[in-house]
Amino acid sequence: MHSFSRAFVHPASSPIRELFKYLSDPEMISFAGGYPDKTLFDVEGLREASERAFQDSARCLQYGMTDGISEIKEQAINFMARRGVRAAPENVTVTTGSQQAFDLLLRVMVNEGDVVLVESPTYPNNIQAIRVSGARIVAVPTDRQGLDIDALERTLEDLRARGVRPKLLYTVPTFGNPAGVTLSLERRLRLVALAVQHRFVIAEDDPYSELRFSGVPVESLYALAQRIDGAADWVVHMASLSKILAPGIRVAWSVAPASIAHRCYVAKQSADVGSSPWTQRIASEYLASGRLEPRLELMRQAYGAKCRALSQALRELLPEALDFDEPEGGMFLWARLAAPVDAAALLAKGIEHKVVFVPGAGFHADEPDPATLRVSFTAHSIPRIQEGAVRLQRAWAAARSS
């Protein structure tokens, strides 16, 4: 009846959002969404920050600058310094979640039919965003160390031979969603060099790097690029407060070369006029209060303990059935099931046994791998995580014998 736009004739909803219908059941243990532990929200600190913010109620309630109020830009610049990134206000676009930062970047960089490179597997909402933009997705394989740079090089040569220059490469190089892996320094340097050589922009999505609970930090692509002549023109970095403060605040930002940032600013005018000055102001007050660092320390400890508890339980309960590396940070454990049970069959039985996770298929823009699954370890207490693992084992046994 209605005549929809090409991208929405057959809308494919996010595989994670699709599982939400099961979550209203209080008995359900969900390893599905990338939800922070609600007991770790700094409610008191945010209440105080809200009160301070609201002393300037007129500014909270009025329209603010499209690319962000000055206070949060200043805090964003300070925050980026901890990631080794130098930024000026004209490089920063404050956004309504980093989801919007990527959406704006697509609007300003790609035309229908352009090639956007993604790692496979990757974050499905951004596969969705690229599809909506009408760009052509070319997936590059990953291995247990993240993006396979040799494969990327071959893909780039291949595209070049056909006269195609990709516009963007989307990557989550630190504790990726879904695979939880971190790209090594050596691979990062090669990736930046390839971006310069082939003149594509790397969209570095980084909501997770502060959540490292073991291993050694690796510098961000943006920080590395700033030390290589001309390379910083080819990286856009997206940061978010969703996983380290609270997703409900919807405050994030991108840091980009000024020519890109200016265009994101213009694109944002038609997207939402500007993000809420109220929550930006609360976030600025919170970041200025110095409470983030101790809170992050609590999160790292808690998530590290949860991750170890989950890994240990899965190793004990499903030693032959599941293959995975224990993550060093972030929120996700990515595993591969041994035949004959695949992730869809396990999920079907899991729903009966009141445990859910996300099958890996939806994270692939190319060939879905039915054996993979993503298990998020952050939201529940350790006893609930252990109970969830027991239910998974039961679900697996039921799937195997059916």
Q: Which stretches of the chain bind ligand PMP, using CB under 6 A?
A: 34, 97-99, 123, 172, 177, 205, 207, 240, 242, 247, 252
Q: Which is nearer to ligand PMP, 98 or 386 (CB)?
A: 98
Name which of 109 and 317 has its Cβ closer to ligand PMP. Answer: 109
Angle at 186 between CA 180 and CA 188, to 5 degrees: 60
Pull the structure tokens for residue 149: 């740079």
> For residues 152 and 283, which CB has a smaller minimum distance to ligand PMP in the complex?
283
Least distance from C-beta 181 to ligand PMP, angstroms? 13
Residue 262 in tokens: 């200016």
Q: How far is the CB of 195 from ligand PMP (least distance, A)?
A: 19
**Least distance from C-beta 99 to ligand PMP, angstroms?**
3
Helix residue ranges per DSSP H, 292-381: 292-317, 343-352
Q: Which residue has the tokens 């920063």?
A: 92
Residue type, 6: R
Indicate the residue whose CB is closest to ligand PMP. Answer: 97
CB of 397 to ligand PMP, least distance (A): 31
CB of 305 to ligand PMP, least distance (A): 21
3-state secondary structure 197-256: HHCCEEEEEECCCCCECCCCCCCCHHHHHHCCCCHHHHEEEEEECCCCCCHHHCCEEEEC
CA distances from 268 to 1, 50, 250, 265 (A): 32, 25, 15, 5
Instruction: Order across the sheet with 332-337: list the strands.
Output: 322-324, 332-337, 372-376, 358-359
Task: Work out how close the CB of 346 gets to ligand PMP at its nearest, in angstroms, rounded to a whole number.
Answer: 22
Of 209, 139, 140, 201, the closest CA to residue 173 belongs to 209
User: Within 10 Å of residue 398's Cβ, how many Cβ atoms?
Assistant: 17
CB of 229: closest distance to ligand PMP in angstroms?
29
**Cβ of residue 173: shortest distance to ligand PMP, in angstroms?**
10
What is the DSSP pairing of strand 115-120 with strand 372-376?
A: unpaired
With respect to ligand PMP, which residue has the nearer C-beta, 32 or 318?
A: 32
The residue among 52 and 295 lying less far from ligand PMP, judged by its C-beta, is 295
| Helix/strand/coil percentages in the chain, nearest 5 | 50, 15, 35
Nearest Cα to Cα of residue 220 among 168, 171, 287: 171
CB of 165 to ligand PMP, least distance (A): 25
Between 121 and 207, name the residue whose CB sits nearer to ligand PMP: 207
83 and 223 in contact (C-beta within 8 Å)? yes
34 vs 327, beta carbon nearer ligand PMP: 34
Cβ proximity to ligand PMP, 252 vs 314, nearer residue? 252
Nearer to ligand PMP, 146 or 247 (CB): 247
Measure the CA–CA gap between 307 and 301, rounded to whole angstroms: 10
